[in-house]
C-alpha cells in the first residue's frame, strides 16, 4: 500500500524543481522573479536560499534575451529551466523559441541539440483581462522541433519535469494558472517521474469521449459528473502531451464511444481542438455518430468581469451541453 501525502500543484512544481537541481548540477532555473521574490506563483519559494544565485537566477525583463540565453546555455552544455512568467509574455521570446530552439537541430543538419525546458503559466480564470489570459499552447504545438506538455494533475506537475530535462530537445511545459492552489495526493516515496508522451484516460465512459488538457480537465470531469446524473457516461481524456499528440489513445476511445467533444481554452479558429478534430476525421470518420464538437473560448479578448470571463471560457455546463448535443438528446 503506497503511502500518500497531500500537496498542492504549486508544491508539486517546487518539489520537481528541487529534485532536478539536486540530481544534476547542470540544471539551473532562470527567469523573472524566480529568486528573491520566490517565483511569481511561489513555485520557487525558498530555492534561492537553498541553491544560490548562480542556479536560481533572477533575470531582467528581457524575455527574448534570457530565453535566447537559455538556448545558448543549453547549447553550451547546461540544462537550463527557463521560466517565462506567463505565455502572454512569451510572445516577446517567440523569435528565440521558434527560430532558434525549434530550428537549430534541423537547420544545422543534426549537429546540435537544444536541451532546454521552458515553463510558462497559461490560461484565464483569475480576472486578469485580455493581456494576461491567453492560451497559446496551440501556437507552440504547431511548431516542429519542440515538444509541448500540459500537466493537469498534481502527479503530472510533480513528475513531468525530470523526463522533460532528460529530453535532448526543447520542451515547453504549460502550467494553467488556476491549478496552482489545487490539492491532491501524491506518493510519499519512489520515482515520481511520469511518461511525457501519452494521454491519460481520467474517467472511463461509454457514450462520448471528451478530449481536453490543462485547466479544462477538471471542468470536463465536473461535466461528466453532471451528465452521469442524466444517465450519460462520458470518457474524459487528458492529453498531457500537446506535441506530439497521442493519436492512438484518442482514436481508440472515439471508435468505442462514436462521439467526440474537444474542450480547448484557446479560441476555436485554428485551435488545437481543430487539429484534433481533423485527426479524428482522418482516422475515425466511419465510427462517428455525430460531427466532432468543440468547446472553446468565445472569440473575444478575455474580459475582466467575472461573469463575462466565465461566459467567454469553457465551463462544465457548456461542456455538458456539447456532450448532449453529440448525443442528440
Contact between 231 and other proteins by CB under 8 A: the answer reads no
Active-site residue, 307 included: no
Contact between 282 and other proteins by CB under 8 A: the answer reads no
Residues 145-174 that bind other proteins (CB under 8 A): 145, 147, 167-169
Of residues 50, 106, 126, 306, which one binds other proteins by CB under 8 A? 106
Contact between 289 and other proteins by CB under 8 A: the answer reads yes
For residue 257, the minimal CB distance to other proteins (Å) is: 10
For residue 302, the minimal CB distance to other proteins (Å) is: 26
Contact between 131 and other proteins by CB under 8 A: the answer reads no
Contact between 54 and other proteins by CB under 8 A: the answer reads yes
Of residues 78, 298, 308, 321, which one binds other proteins by CB under 8 A? 78
From the list 40-48, 65-73, 121-129, 211-219, the region that binds other proteins by CB under 8 A is: 65-73
Please give the Cα distance from 33 to 134 (Å, whole number): 21
What are the φ/ψ torsions at residue 149 (nearest 5 degrees)? -120, 150
Nearer to other proteins, 57 or 294 (CB): 57
Nearer to other proteins, 124 or 250 (CB): 250
Mention every residue, 6+ apart, whose C-beta is less than 8 A from residue 62.
none
Of residues 113, 127, 233, 283, which one binds other proteins by CB under 8 A? 113
Active-site residue, 106 included: no
From the list 1-9, 67-75, 219-227, 316-324, the region that binds other proteins by CB under 8 A is: 67-75
For residue 129, the minimal CB distance to other proteins (Å) is: 24
Contact between 91 and other proteins by CB under 8 A: the answer reads no
Please give the Cα distance from 58 to 16 (Å, whole number): 19
Contact between 57 and 34 (Cβ < 8 Å)? yes
Nearer to other proteins, 55 or 294 (CB): 55
- For 24-55, letters b (16+ CB in 10 Å) and e give eebbbbbbbbbbeebbbbebbeebbeebeeeb
* Catalytic residue annotation: 63, 132
| Binding stretches for other proteins (CB under 8 A) | 26, 28, 54, 59-60, 62, 64-78, 80, 92, 95-96, 99-100, 104-113, 144-145, 147, 167-169, 197, 243-245, 247, 258, 285-290, 328
Amino acid at each position: 500500500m503506497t503511502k500518500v501525502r497531500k500537496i498542492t500543484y504549486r508544491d508539486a512544481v517546487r518539489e520537481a524543481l528541487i529534485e532536478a537541481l539536486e540530481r544534476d548540477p547542470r540544471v539551473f532555473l532562470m527567469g523573472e522573479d524566480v529568486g528573491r521574490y520566490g517565483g511569481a506563483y511561489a513555485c520557487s519559494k525558498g530555492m534561492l536560499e537553498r541553491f544560490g544565485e548562480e542556479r536560481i537566477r533572477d533575470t531582467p525583463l528581457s524575455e527574448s534575451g534570457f530565453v535566447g540565453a537559455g538556448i545558448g546555455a543549453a547549447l553550451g552544455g547546461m540544462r537550463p529551466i527557463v521560466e517565462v512568467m506567463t505565455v502572454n509574455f512569451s510572445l516577446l521570446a517567440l523569435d528565440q523559441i521558434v527560430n532558434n530552439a525549434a530550428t537549430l537541430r534541423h537547420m544545422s543538419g543534426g549537429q546540435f541539440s537544444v536541451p532546454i525546458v521552458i515553463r510558462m503559466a497559461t490560461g484565464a480564470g483569475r480576472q486578469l483581462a485580455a493581456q494576461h489570459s491567453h492560451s497559446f499552447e496551440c501556437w507552440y504545438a504547431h511548431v516542429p522541433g519542440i515538444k509541448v506538455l500540459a500537466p493537469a494533475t498534481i502527479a503530472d506537475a510533480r513528475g513531468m519535469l525530470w523526463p522533460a530535462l532528460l529530453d535532448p530537445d526543447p520542451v515547453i511545459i504549460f502550467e494553467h494558472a488556476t491549478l496552482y492552489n489545487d490539492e491532491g495526493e501524491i506518493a510519499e516515496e519512489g520515482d515520481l517521474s511520469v511518461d511525457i508522451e501519452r494521454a491519460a484516460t481520467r474517467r472511463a465512459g461509454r457514450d462520448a469521449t471528451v478530449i481536453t488538457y490543462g485547466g479544462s480537465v477538471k471542468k470536463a470531469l465536473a461535466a461528466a459528473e453532471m451528465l452521469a446524473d442524466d444517465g450519460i457516461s462520458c470518457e474524459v481524456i487528458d492529453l498531457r502531451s500537446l506535441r506530439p499528440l497521442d493519436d492512438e489513445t484518442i482514436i481508440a476511445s472515439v471508435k468505442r464511444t462514436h462521439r467526440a467533444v474537444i474542450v480547448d481554452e484557446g479560441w476555436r479558429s485554428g485551435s488545437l481542438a481543430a487539429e484534433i478534430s481533423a485527426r479524428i476525421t482522418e482516422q475515425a470518420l466511419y465510427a462517428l455518430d455525430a460531427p466532432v464538437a468543440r468547446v472553446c473560448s468565445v472569440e473575444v479578448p478575455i474580459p475582466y468581469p467575472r461573469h463575462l470571463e466565465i461566459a467567454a471560457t469553457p465551463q462544465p455546463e457548456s461542456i455538458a451541453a456539447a456532450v448532449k448535443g453529440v448525443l442528440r438528446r
